[in-house]
Every structure is written in structure tokens, then in C-alpha cells.
């Protein structure tokens, strides 16, 4: 488990190499800022899991839980590209939150 900024938790990301983690942190940080502009949240939890592993390629499943004042928002996405699945899941989450 990796913590970013105290209220952001990344699970299943420890296996990633440092350059990939740098991009993940920037991507998550940008979306977290957009979400916090709409609503202040207690915790943003992002879980990464590799599914459907075939030879060298695997799909990246990203599941997100966002806790906002006793309410939980959920989102998920699956793609062969980690960054695409992470971005899709975060965009879905943002669209659920209204100002």
C-alpha cells in the first residue's frame, strides 16, 4: 500500500517501476485536485489488479472508492494500458460527483 498526501491510497502499485509510478502519481494527483475542487473527500482508494494474463500482455483492472461525507462513490475500468484504465476510472468518478 502506498499513501499519497494522507488521503489517497494506492493498492497493488508496488510492483511498478519508478518511471511508471511517477506518471501514475501525476495522473492521480491531477484528478484528485479536480475532484477536491468539486467536493472535499476523506479518502480516495485506488486498487490495481492484473487480469486475463496471456503471454506478455495483461489487462489492468483499476477499482476506485471515494469517501465523501458518509457517501461512497465507486468506479472501475479495464484496459491493456495501465494509464488508460486509470484515467478512464478517474474520469468516471469525476462525472459522478456534482458541485
Gap between the Cα atoms of 99 and 39, Å rounded: 7
Q: Is 55 left (phi over 0), alpha (psi -120 to 50) or beta?
A: left
Domain count within the chain = 1
Residue 75, pLDDT score: 95
16 φ/ψ angles, rounded to the nearest 5 degrees: -75, 150
Residue 24: strand, helix, or coil: helix
Residue 8, pLDDT score: 92
Domain residues for the domain of 78 are: 2-96
What is the pLDDT tens value at each position of the chain, 99 positions in all?
888 878 999 999 988 899 999 999 999 999 999 888 888 889 999 999 988 766 667 789 999 999 988 889 999 999 999 999 999 999 999 988 875
CATH of the domain at 64: 3.30.160.100
Amino acid at each position: 500500500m502506498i499513501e499519497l498526501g494522507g488521503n489517497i491510497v494506492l493498492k497493488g502499485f508496488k510492483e511498478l517501476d519508478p518511471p511508471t509510478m511517477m506518471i501514475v502519481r501525476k495522473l492521480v494527483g491531477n484528478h484528485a485536485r479536480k475532484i477536491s475542487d468539486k467536493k472535499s473527500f476523506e479518502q480516495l482508494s485506488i486498487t490495481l489488479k492484473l487480469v486475463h494474463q496471456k503471454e506478455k500482455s495483461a489487462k489492468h483492472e483499476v477499482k476506485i472508492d471515494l469517501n465523501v461525507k458518509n457517501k461512497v462513490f465507486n468506479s472501475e475500468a479495464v484496459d491493456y494500458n495501465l494509464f488508460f484504465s486509470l484515467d478512464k476510472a478517474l474520469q468516471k468518478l469525476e462525472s459522478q460527483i456534482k458541485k
